[in-house]
Structure 1
Amino acid sequence: MTWLLKPYPLQDAALAGDLWVHPALTPQPKVIAQVSAAGAWTNWIDVDLWADRPLDTFALLFHNGPMGGSWKAYGRTDADGPPAGPWIDDPATELFEYVGWGEFPPSADGVFRDRRAHALMTLPAPRPVRYLRIYINWPGPADLNPWNLGVIAIGKRWEPGRDTNEMRGFDWGSGWRANDPSEVRTHDGGEQSSWRRAVVPEVRGTFSHLTDAEVSELKAIIMAAARTEPLLLVESSDALGDAGMPQKIHYGSLIEVDFFGRTQPNKSRFELRLRNWL
């Protein structure tokens, strides 16, 4: 499935836990949180969203952890009250537990080519959560020092076809490109000079057969995000399964939004373009 998430803003959320995590609550990937500890370690994060919010998607973005770590999350409603002290399991409110970060193989040949990875977990249906607790564990014995984390993204995703169990992703013709703003100048003598800038991936995709309800929800996301707020876009896997999945996880902002086009009663078509943040 291909889906889109407008992460809940966490800068104003009440936070408990180790102070190391505060930088990861900003939407900027390069404002990183770090764990600097030798050998095995476990850290915890408590987030208070101030009211019950629907949660079904959890992501630790732009981290540098290899396979072997694990993470789990608990969610309590406003009526449940805040969780007990740290390191106390609460099975009745467990949202998930995953060994391996919820990670995907880095490529078809297993070679890790991306210096920053993403851990991603989704639930089949939203759960009301006010108090979210996340445990992050590195089992050792090798040092992972430091472990970096860029963004914590949580929220309720928009997933076309979800209510009807249809497998609907981007149409054929959707694609990816590298936007290179570097400047290259050819001088009178034929030599070249350049001013290298960061090469930024962009993705373009078209959704077809959107129901009126899906269009309404997508419009609300676009109006809230505009071209300034980050979105998390995850493309569906292909014949290679999850191989190469990190290249299909896009965190960035919209650069172009096309008109919705009605194709038939209760069916619309829509194209978007997103530029990744680095």
Structure 2
Amino acid sequence: MSDTAAVPRGLVGGLARACHPVPAAAVTALAGAMAAGAGRGLAGTLLTGGAVAVGQLSIGWSNDLIDRQRDEAAGRSDKPLAVGRLTSRQVSSAARWAIVCCVLLSAACGIAAATVHLVAVAAGWAYNLRLKATRWSWLPYALAFALLPAFVTLALPGRPWPAASVLGAGSLLGVSAHFANVLPDLAADRAANIRGLPQRAGARASALVAVLAATAAALLLAPGWPVLAVTAPPAVAALLAPRGRLPFLAVIAATAVAVALLLLNGGLCSGS
């Protein structure tokens, strides 16, 4: 009985590690916060968060599936597929079920909202399949993060689009997230011939782009010195240590400011 019980626990734990849990949780939390701030109510917020969560799961699992051979060659002990804790069939099956759930939960938010969300998820898959190794690696992030608030607002009565400043801020946050997320693996990516824009630019330039894009997103929502007072210190620190954790902290600080401004001051929609 103990052996039988250990299999599901190992499977669940492996899938949890393979889904890229930190970015998946961050994007899901961001979507839930926007839905709550836009007045979707408890049911609408849970529905939005659920749709985004399973979409992110599918993207994370597809990433590890596509990169399995590369991760094995690099000796990535943090990748369950690369060390044999999971099989390709298990991860592929999980990704397929995640896509099915994503379509169903998104459709429950309305056709318009579902369309933009599925385009955003498709952008994540396009990044995994091809664009991550090209100079256009930033584009799926910019598109997906811009469409995230649209997924929220298009489920509201009247199906309004977000304000232009919100779309722009979302796109900038996507670019920031891309450059910050790639920083720790720049050397390994170059060795594996992954030549996305951050890999071409180098660590210091990528840290600069990550920090400036996140700060610009916050300033787009609320220009002024209070934003700079929060984001400037970690930004400067990030530039001094571009390969460490500081760029991530700088991006998180600027993103937190941007989201707080979005929810507390202007709202998501034009004229709100």
- State the TM-score, normalizing by the size of structure 1: 0.26
Q: Which has the higher helix share?
A: 2
Bigger CA radius of gyration: 1
- State the TM-score, normalizing by the size of structure 2: 0.26
